[in-house]
Amino acid sequence: MTGTDYKELKKGGFMKTVQKDRFSLRIRVAGGYLEAEKLKKVYEIAQKYGKGYVHMTARQSIEIPFIKLEDVEEVKKELSLVGLQPGACGPRVRTVTACQGCKICPSGLIDSEGIAKELDIRYYARELPHKFKFGITGCRNNCLKAEENDMGIKGGLKPRWVWEKCIYCGLCQAVCPVGAIEVDKEKRALKFDEKSCVYCGRCVKGCPTDAWEGEAGFILYFGGLFGNSIQIGRQLLPMIFSMEDLHKVIKATFEFYEEHGRKNERFGHTLNRVGWEVLEEKLKGVLK
């Protein structure tokens, strides 16, 4: 249709399909969490304006294909009735993905879903040189593949041995995946190599006498890519332990990307060109 601003439609979550004047509507979903009542409205829109089905995207969003151009504004109104919005596309912060985290998953170490909602409120659709993806995974099982994201957040648990509670049963040694713990039952002695620790929290969760305590935190990865080019994100900082520090790091990361990133250049490529050490120094500076 003459005069149609397809870039603006895409920015607002309506992506052109191969069919003439048809669009696939991407719906804004934070951390894969969507109330059942809102799902009812998605069903109604798919039946009324689409072809009666939805597509579940790779990043925990929902798309409704085959929306007619003439129905776009009506669809927006329908979404707003239940507090739904079209998703963001183009060079901006995309859907924040997350596992269910510690509120549901026995392995979870952080509230992945709650963090995703907070990041969605603060940063979703922020304009940047290119698309920017957050992925939040609750533990070392890494279901959300933190290292594949522009910025990945992985839950960790920093352990501390409380010797007076220990019965030297050896269970912590048995469950440690990297051999960071050695228990001598006869001598009632324990060695913990913190440098080898991967902060999985298994010693804390498995101890029958609470002789291991843990402080939950965030292990952060930067510059991951998993599309036309593949690059594993790097950990540039030690584990951090507060949402305040997490927001400081995110703010500094965006500042770096806005200052150094070129139009249509992914964050990881910017890091390769400018130098990872430049971002690393900036991040360490904001956490002093």
Cα–Cα distance between 141 and 200 in angstroms, integer?
9
Q: Which fold has domain 157-215?
A: Alpha-Beta Plaits (3.30.70)
Q: pLDDT-based confidence at 1, cuts 50/70/90?
A: very low
Residue ranges per structural domain of the chain? 6-80, 97-150+221-286, 157-215
Average pLDDT, integer, range 46-57:
97
pLDDT score, position 2: 52
Predicted confidence (pLDDT) per residue in 234-272, tens digit: 999 999 999 999 999 999 999 999 999 999 999 999 999
CB–CB of 183/173 below 8 Å?
A: yes
Q: Is residue 35 pLDDT above 50, yes or no?
A: yes
pTM recorded for the entire structure: 0.94
Q: Is residue 286 pLDDT above 90, yes or no?
A: yes
Pairs from 238-242 (Cβ < 8 Å, separation ≥ 24): 239/156, 239/158, 239/199, 240/287, 241/158, 241/215, 241/216, 241/217
Written out in words, the top-level CATH class of the domain with range 6-80 is alpha beta
DSSP string, 25-83: EEEP-BTTB--HHHHHHHHHHHHHHSSS--EE-TTS-EEEEEEEGGGHHHHHHHHHTTT
Average pLDDT, integer, range 159-176:
98
Q: What is the CATH number of domain 97-150+221-286?
A: 3.30.413.10
pLDDT score, position 3: 65
Strands in 163-277 per DSSP E = 181-184, 189-192, 212-222, 225-226, 230-231
Q: Would you say the CATH fold of 157-215 matches that of 97-150+221-286? A: no
Rg over CA atoms, the chain: 23
